[in-house]
Amino acid sequence: MKNSLFGTDGVRGVANVYPMTVDFAMALAMAAAKEICTTKKRVALAKDTRISGDMLEAAMIAGFTSQGVDVLQLGVIPTPALTVLTPRLDVDMAVMITASHNPYHDNGIKLVSADGDKFSDKVTSRLEKAVAKGGFDFDKDKLGRVVPCFGVVDDYVTTVLRAVKRRNPFRGLKLVVDCANGCFSKIMPAVFQKLGADVVALSCEPDGLNINKDCGSQHIEKMCAAVWENSADLGIAADGDGDRIIVCDEKGKKIDGDQILAFLGQYFKATGELGAITVGATIVSNPGLDRFLAAKGISCVRSAVGERYVIDEMRRTGSTFGGEESGHMVASDYSKTGDCLVTALLFVQALLNTNKKMSDIFPLFQPMPRLRVDSVFSDNAKMAKAFDKPEFQEAIKEGEKLLGKDGKVLVRKSGTEPKIQVWVWSDNLELAAEVNNVISSPLEKVAGYVSRK
């Protein structure tokens, strides 16, 4: 059964609109209780700062406890904290209620295994099937309890600080941190201050409605301006649940995620911490990253888009560091998933080791130019049918042959809109445009085609 609700990182939607409703959250909890919580009969439950978290938390507590499963209520903690702590909590699984970098009116549900990993597509498909089937049993003698556990953040911080190699390593450093009015609001400024840094904290006053609002990883304008205005050395922005990082230099210029992968990749190699001398990235990272890493004697392996797939590829190859150009960075020696705080601590240490300003370091490499064409369709069904047309598949092969070794082609269906995206990287922009046209042109003849962007 193909997942219809679960994406690469859980279920997500508008709160109080299916599937982010009380009924669905409760049914999912009951399904997870039946399918997953069969040994210890315990689950850990956490949330971010958005207002609908209370509603969905209550629904999931009701669902789990109605099936005889005890709920460890962790309150507001970052997603990376939950994944690190779950293996220590003696539970069958954990749940994070969050819509990550989305605005407050959205919410989502991420499911975490007892080992602290995201569940596979196979498991989430099984849960979807159980929710659809329904018919859950209720027993008056099998009820679960709610166990408040609101002090676990200290254990997470202690774990995170293992990434710091020296005492008071950030003395003399001034930085701006934008916590997106999310899960890191009370944590990240305190950690950097404890380590001796002069911290200018932004967006650290969550009220349930302001998470990610004009702040954080998706809206870095205020952070960049604050870095410049306060003569800070750099700026760091998290998203609402803390699994994404965006960085800017002392001039307020954003540093691309691929540049962070390159910078920390070479840092880990120098410190002997880069497993298999390999960095994990996704298919949308710039080919310039591969060039840079190869020149440093580092391999770059690619996965499908999605942090979970990056982690799978890292494990397959033995790599200990990887991520996405969007800002999800995974340092597996210190965290189970993308972790803004861990990455920030490692990044700052690597920066201080250079004794240079960020603007003198970045960009580490010049990205290969990219041209992208989106072919828009009237609906997802027509888009999917067009993608599978033999003529289109042949056009892709023709485009790849035309480009040869002078670049890279990526063709993918959008995960959110009825669009087929054709990405062409090449140092020769005229050739890139020609290849894009060769691949995209057959789509114009397919029923449901709307326009090319």
Nearest Cα neighbor of 32 from 113, 122, 127 is 127
* Residues paired with 450 in a beta bridge: none
Is 100 considered catalytic here?
yes
Q: What is the DSSP letter of 273?
A: -
First CA to last CA distance, the chain: 33
Q: What is the DSSP letter of 7?
A: B
User: Could you give the maximum distance between any two Cα atoms of the chain, in Å?
Assistant: 72
The side-by-side arrangement of strands in the sheet containing 370-377 is 407-413, 419-426, 370-377, 449-452
Residue 227 CA to residue 248 CA, distance in Å, equals 8
> Which residues, including other chains, have CB under 8 Å from residue 14's CB and lie 6 or more apart?
20, 105, 106, 107
CB atoms within 10 A of CB 405: 5
**What H or E segment, with its residue span, contains residue 126?**
helix 121-133
Contact 424, 374 (CB under 8 A): no
Catalytic pick from 4, 52, 66, 100?
Answer: 100
Q: What is the DSSP letter of 164?
A: -
* Residue in the structure block whose two tokens are 């399904």: 31
Contact 326, 259 (CB under 8 A): no
How would you label 370-380 residue by residue, b for 16+ Cβ within 10 Å and e otherwise? bbebebbbeee
Nearest Cα neighbor of 326 from 108, 5, 9, 4 is 9
> Which residues, including other chains, have CB under 8 Å from residue 97's CB and lie 6 or more apart?
45, 46, 47, 48, 53, 56, 57, 60, 107, 108, 109, 110
Which residues are tagged catalytic? 100
